[in-house]
């Protein structure tokens, strides 16, 4: 039986890589649904290639544009729109696997719908765990969903743990999250004052969407991953260490109390963790070039610089504070990154906006999904107001 898959955010970087891997295994996978925000042409091209049962655009205008093309082409794909349709394609009874690859907080509700429906969830959207960690993990557990991490670091840790998840961190000293250091690893604070959005999106090792590229440049991406690791592996903040590794060959490591460190290595290509999760527990080919260690040469490791990259420290601070702090951090970060991409603020202003929002709202409690949505909205409104 072929596995039926929904890809949320199929037109993005992770979505396209997922389709690339799936296209290599037509005997294993069948696309149930695809989705996009505004990329009508890209989603239509994917519909032509993969003939999904459903295609969902975020808004009605996009859906109308897509529907016209689908009808003209004689496809049987049903076109829908809106969050409730995204939730529907994530939880449809016939779906086995959901790739959660929408960027930002917008991906949370459909990912949660997949968890509540007990799906196998391939989680790329780290913002879901940062925003609603406990709520999401409870939904996974209570509904027997299977959660497989797509972030290369968490996928590497998953592969380096004896049974996938170290539910109690027994025998483990620390999780070592590797970080490339991003495009500005060597830049001084003075130089960072003048960098542009295009500079920030020019990652040395990875090709990614613009939001996560800026997050990598500020190292907030690593901070969000620290919070993600906390929820996935039940690790405290002081059991998670960030190690800068500019070659991006080791994707992360687990350090055990007997002195062993187990690492996962590979070329920096997201198709490896995607194929791992799609095939799990089997291994399937991904199209990624094998890693030739003799050509790779020396691997380097450094401590992260918290003074040039204050976002990393803010994420640790939010994780330790708990309550609404990670939700507030995530929301303020999304506003700050979008404002930087629109050239309304400088790169070096991103952390200040997040810190100010955390100071204002980070100490609020958070016990439910309603609380999370409320705090997300309040943090966005507060951050926006600081900009005007
Ligand atoms: N890229 C990577 O290598 C990588 C690695 C690890 C983790 N991740 C995580 O994976 C997620 C996706 O990253 P990405 O780089 O693939 O992002 P991306 O290239 O920007 O793609 C995002 C996808 O989500 C859709 N989308 C955007 N805003 C939306 C909204 N408000 N509602 C519904 N759909 C929306 C986009 O549609 P349009 O095309 O129409 O805009 C696109 O399909 C992020 O959470 C990121 O942190 C990415």
pLDDT tens digit string along 287-312? 999 999 999 999 999 999 999 999 99
232-272, pLDDT tens digit by residue?
999 999 999 999 999 999 999 999 999 999 999 999 999 99
Ligand 1 touching residue 127 (CB < 6 A): yes
CATH class of the 322-388 domain in this structure = mainly alpha
* Gap from CA of 170 to ligand 1 centroid (Å): 34
Does the CB atom of residue 38 touch ligand 1 within 6 A? yes
Q: What is the rounded average pLDDT of the residues 372-376? A: 98
For the chain, give every domain's residue range.
3-149, 151-186+197-267+288-304, 322-388
373: three-class secondary structure by DSSP: helix
DSSP, residue by residue, 212-229: HHHHHHHTHHHHHHHHHH
Distances from the Cα of 16 to the Cα of 34, 36, 42, 96, 191, angstroms:
11, 11, 10, 19, 34
What pTM does this model have? 0.97
% of the chain exceeding 70 in pLDDT = 99
pLDDT at 61 over 80: yes
Q: How far is the CA of 364 from the centre of ligand 1 (A)?
A: 29
Determine the pLDDT at residue 167.
61
Q: pLDDT tier at 168 (50, 70, 90 boundaries)?
A: confident
Report how far ligand 1's centroid is from the alpha carbon of 14 (Å).
7
Question: Which atom, in ligand 1's list, is nearest to the CA of 10?
Answer: 43
Residues 6 or more apart in contact with residue 85 via CB below 8 angstroms: 54, 56
Query: At residue 291, what are phi and psi to the nearest 5 degrees?
Result: -85, 120
Candidate from 44, 56, 102, 286 with most ligand 1 atoms within 8 A of CB, to mutate: 102
Task: Place 388 in a pLDDT band, splitting at 50, 70 and 90.
Answer: confident
Average pLDDT taken over every residue of the chain? 96
Which residues is 54 bridged to in the sheet? 33, 78
Task: Classify the phi-psi angles of 149: left when phi > 0, otherwise alpha if psi is within -120 to 50, otherwise beta.
Answer: beta
Residue 303 CA to residue 269 CA, distance in Å, equals 24
Nearest residue (by CA) to ligand 1, atom 21, is: 12
The CATH H-level (homologous superfamily) assignment of domain 3-149 is NAD(P)-binding Rossmann-like Domain (3.40.50.720)
Residue 256 has a CB neighbour count (10 Å cut-off) of 16
The ligand 1 atom at the shortest distance from the C-alpha of residue 40 is 40
Residue 170: the pLDDT is 86
What pLDDT band is residue 205 in, cutting at 50, 70 and 90? Answer: confident
Spacing, Cα 57 to ligand 1 middle (Å): 14
Q: Would you call 138 helix, strand, or coil by DSSP?
A: helix
165 pLDDT more than 70: no
């Amino acid at each position: 039986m072929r596995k039926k898959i929904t890809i949320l955010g199929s037109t993005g970087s992770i979505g396209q890589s997922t389709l690339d891997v799936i296209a290599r295994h037509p005997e294993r996978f069948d696309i149930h649904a695809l989705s996009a925000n505004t990329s009508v042409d890209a989603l239509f091209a994917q519909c032509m290639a993969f003939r999904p049962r459903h295609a969902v655009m975020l808004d009605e205008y996009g859906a109308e544009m897509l529907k016209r093309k689908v009808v003209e082409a004689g496809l049987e794909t049903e076109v829908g729109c809106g969050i409730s349709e995204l939730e529907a394609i994530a939880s449809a009874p016939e779906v086995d696997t959901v790739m959660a690859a929408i960027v930002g907080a917008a991906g949370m509700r459909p990912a949660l719908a997949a968890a509540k429906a007990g799906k196998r969830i391939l989680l790329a959207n780290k913002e879901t765990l940062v925003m609603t960690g406990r709520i999401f993990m409870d939904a996974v557990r209570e509904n027997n969903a299977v959660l497989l991490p797509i972030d290369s670091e968490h996928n590497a840790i998953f592969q380096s743990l004896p049974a996938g998840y170290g539910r109690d961190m027994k025998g483990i000293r620390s999780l070592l999250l590797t970080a490339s250091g991003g495009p500005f690893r060597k830049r001084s604070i003075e130089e960072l004052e003048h960098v542009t959005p295009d500079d920030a999106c020019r990652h040395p090792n990875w090709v990614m969407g613009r939001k996560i590229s800026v997050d990598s440049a500020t190292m907030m991406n690593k901070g969000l991953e620290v919070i993600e690791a906390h929820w996935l592996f039940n690790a405290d903040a002081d059991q998670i260490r960030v190690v800068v590794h500019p070659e991006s060959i080791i994707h992360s490591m687990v350090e055990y109390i007997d002195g062993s460190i187990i690492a996962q290595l590979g070329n920096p290509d997201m198709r490896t963790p995607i194929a791992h999760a799609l095939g799990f527990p089997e291994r399937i080919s991904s199209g990624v070039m094998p890693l030739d260690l003799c050509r790779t040469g020396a691997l380097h490791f450094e401590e992260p610089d918290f003074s040039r990259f204050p976002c990393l420290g803010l994420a640790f601070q939010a994780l330790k504070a708990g309550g609404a702090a990670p939700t507030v951090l995530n929301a303020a970060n999304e506003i700050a990154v979008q404002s930087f991409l629109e050239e309304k603020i400088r790169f070096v202003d991103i952390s200040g906006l997040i810190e100010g929002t955390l100071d204002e709202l980070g100490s609020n409690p958070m016990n439910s999904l309603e609380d999370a949505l409320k705090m997300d909205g309040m943090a966005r409104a507060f951050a926006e107001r600081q900009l005007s």
